[in-house]
Amino acid sequence: MKNLKEAAVGSTVKVKKIHGEGAVRRRIMDMGITRGVEIYVRKVAPLGDPIEITVRGYELSLRKADAEDIELE
């Protein structure tokens, strides 16, 4: 299983499934990250946290722990 944390910088990936539950899942979905959406990985901080992405035209920062819950196609 490949997740968003493992995605290469500069790549565009497609979301297959969101794992996690409760507040974590809600926080991810509130950012507009849902099944089938494309995510562009812009930058990863030197220690891997946060991961900066572009989703639906919005530039967002995502925690490494949250990125692990996003499974990619």
Give the CA count within 13 Å in the CB-facing half-sphere of 1: 12
Tokens representing residue 7 in the block: 């995605």
What per-residue confidence (pLDDT) applies to 1?
Answer: 56
- CA-based nearest residue to 31, from 60, 6, 66, 72: 60
Domains of the chain: residue spans and CATH: 4-72 (2.30.30.90)
pLDDT in 10s for each residue of the chain, 73 residues: 599 999 999 999 999 999 988 998 999 999 999 999 999 999 998 886 899 999 999 999 999 999 999 999 9
pTM: 0.87
